[in-house]
Amino acid sequence: MANRENTIICFGDSITKGYVPFLEEEIEKDPQYVDFRIVNEGIGGETSQDGLKRINKITACNPKIVIVGFGMNDACGSKDVSIEEFEGNMLKIVKALQDRGAEVRLLTMHPIITYNPIEILNSPIDKFNKTIREISLQRHIKLININYFWKREFKNITGGLRDKIHPNEKGNKLYAKIISKYLKRRSTIILWQYNGHPCACNYHCPYCLSDPRKQKGDHFWGTIEKWRKALKKTFGDQRLVLYLANGEPTIGKNFLDVLNMVGDEPAWSIRMTSNISQPLDKIVKTKVAKEGRLDINASFHPTMVNKEDFLKQILFLRKNGIEVPVVYVMWPPFFERFEEDFEFFNRHKFLVHMRRFQGFYRRRKYPQAYTEKERRFMARYMDDATIKYMLSFEPSFGKLTWSGMDFFILDSKGNVGYCDDLRPDRHCLGNVFRDFKPFTEPRPFPKHFVSDTTVDGVANFLELNYEQLDKRNNVMFFARQGGVYRTADGVFYKNMNINLDDPRVRTEYRFPPRNLRDCYYIFRYQDRDLGVKVRDVLFFLTPDSIKKGLDKVEYKIRRSIFLRSFLKKLLKIVRI
């Protein structure tokens, strides 16, 4: 019998039996599954009724993960299984597996060929898939929506079929590819603005996008127990990673209560981005820290703290088992001092994660206003995805993303948004205290003129094919996948000697064109949207004087909006 920690059971009918050999090939390529064993429990012709009869055999194996795929024979077979009976059978199967502590994944069914005119408009497959989705939401388990990906992959559904129902080699390979992606996404990550928006902050950095006058006071809403119940009601027993960022999370009155709440839930963990200016003794003594379920990204703000004091704090965390990366925002005045700061932290083997600056400096809009020399300098210290998606303003619109499915931003009132760059006030998905239901599949990013530049947001784009950032520190795991990682001798930066004179390399890393040859390679590059290519070329063709003029106009507009808002508030005060 296989060890629970490395057993994946694929439980279902002939569809399951067919895709498993391809899934075995797919996960053999992945180092994290080198010790895993896949058990093929697919039997041709079975319905959910037959599956329920076999459930004791499956639970006796004490599996880590079970992928359940029934319904094709219930919906389209000769055996008479009603949709109501199917739902009852599936709920019993799922409950039996969850009671044994197995992680359950439900498969929807791919489209099939039908010659019945009535079924074309009212397919039993769609009805049964709807039931499968409802069960996944009811039982708080991951849904692998093969039907969705099948329709995206095959413009004509027959492209993946060898007969009316069964997948051919292409269809089975699609099953394997999609299931392997879902196997890597084992957690739900929630960026929680627990202390309001904007969160309180004890720093007032000149490059911060938030208005310092608003970053005061405590804005925690409700009670800790109310939040615990809401999160459990919405996400069940799933692994939750609660991410505290924005402002300074450690100064909230309820900060330690939040850490203790997470510490009491074995399947939950916490991460935060902090300037680590506050005493850290109480933090490292919490249960969640002692059990290795607390990760911290340390933001270094040179205008607010000297690096010697900052170093003492990050060394203290390292001594207590919490390894941190140093997050460094590249505000234009910092170019003169960065190398000295970098060498200082590098001597102590701390990974420095450079971030682009967003906003206005001397009435120029960044990151667009970075010069060629500045971009080249920054790229040396960046991982691949940070260069491609963050250094420039890479539009997120239309990119297929896991955000909204297993990654969200949650404000202090329970409202749910997509990500840090598309918050609930701009695009609300529901409320965890009332009506929120996660998406059951990745969807295209919904807003124009948004560049999702958090490491989690970028890692969620399917085109990047990154693993979910739930393995310890999210920034370091993100950087590692892009070639920047700690070694016994220090930190390795893959792009230190990157050749940005080669137009092919520049195009791959989304660098702005310098000449017509660069423009040519931009249009030849396959992996970018045509509209984005045209934008980059037009930006190159626009004279610098016009760019500066447009930046000044936008700067004045933003200033005027700010002034109008300020005057309205002033008038209200005067009237009072």
pLDDT of 300: 98
Residue predicted with more confidence, 313 or 204: 313
- DSSP assignment, residue 386? I
Q: pLDDT band at 556, cuts 50/70/90?
A: confident
Measured CA distances, 29 to 36, 428, 483 (Å): 12, 38, 19
Residue predicted with more confidence, 116 or 282: 282
Asked if 107 and 20 count as a contact pair (C-beta separation under 8 A), the reply is no
**Residues 128-146: tens digit of each pLDDT:** 999 999 999 999 999 999 9
Q: In the predicted model, what is the mean pLDDT of residues 57-69?
A: 94
Residue predicted with more confidence, 264 or 568: 264
pLDDT at 64 > cutoff 50: yes
Q: Which of 34-38, 39-43, 57-61, 100-104 has the lowest mean pLDDT?
A: 34-38
How far apart, in whole angstroms, are the C-alpha atoms of residue 382 and residue 390? 10
Tokens of 392: 């420039």
Asked if 491 and 383 count as a contact pair (C-beta separation under 8 A), the reply is no
Asked if 9 and 58 count as a contact pair (C-beta separation under 8 A), the reply is yes
- Token match 């700690």: residue? 486
**Residues 240-285: tens digit of each pLDDT:** 999 998 889 999 989 999 999 999 999 999 999 999 999 999 999 9
The dihedrals phi and psi of 55, each to the nearest 5 degrees, come to: -65, -30
Tokens of 273: 């981005």
Tokens of 25: 């090939």
* Separate counts of helices (H) and strands (E) for the chain: 23, 20
How far apart, in whole angstroms, are the C-alpha atoms of residue 418 and residue 410? 9
Residue predicted with more confidence, 429 or 197: 429
Q: In the predicted model, what is the mean pLDDT of residues 3-30?
A: 89
Measured CA distances, 539 to 358, 448, 521 (Å): 18, 18, 16
Asked if 425 and 447 count as a contact pair (C-beta separation under 8 A), the reply is no
Q: In the predicted model, what is the mean pLDDT of residues 490-501?
A: 95
pLDDT at 117 > cutoff 60: no
Q: In the predicted model, what is the mean pLDDT of residues 110-114?
A: 88
How far apart, in whole angstroms, are the C-alpha atoms of residue 36 and residue 60? 18
3-state secondary structure of 392: coil
Could you tell me which of 421, 424, 448 has the C-alpha nearest to residue 531? 448
Q: In the predicted model, what is the mean pLDDT of residues 145-161?
A: 92
Tokens of 280: 């850290």
Q: pLDDT band at 21, cuts 50/70/90?
A: very high
pLDDT at 316 > cutoff 90: yes
How far apart, in whole angstroms, are the C-alpha atoms of residue 309 and residue 251? 18
Asked if 215 and 247 count as a contact pair (C-beta separation under 8 A), the reply is yes
Tokens of 371: 């010069």
Residue 347 CB partners (closer than 8 Å, separation 6+): none
- The average confidence (pLDDT) of the chain is 90
How far apart, in whole angstroms, are the C-alpha atoms of residue 333 and residue 492? 26
How far apart, in whole angstroms, are the C-alpha atoms of residue 46 and residue 55? 13
Asked if 482 and 386 count as a contact pair (C-beta separation under 8 A), the reply is yes
Q: In the predicted model, what is the mean pLDDT of residues 366-395?
A: 94
pLDDT of 121: 42
pLDDT at 563 > cutoff 70: no
Q: Which of 210-224, 238-252, 536-550 has the lowest mean pLDDT?
A: 210-224
- pLDDT more than 90, % of the chain: 70
pLDDT at 25 > cutoff 50: yes
**Residues 177-198: tens digit of each pLDDT:** 999 999 889 899 999 999 987 7
Tokens of 462: 């399917």
Residue predicted with more confidence, 569 or 533: 533
Q: pLDDT band at 574, cuts 50/70/90?
A: very low
pLDDT of 243: 97
Residue 431 CB partners (closer than 8 Å, separation 6+): 413, 414, 415, 416
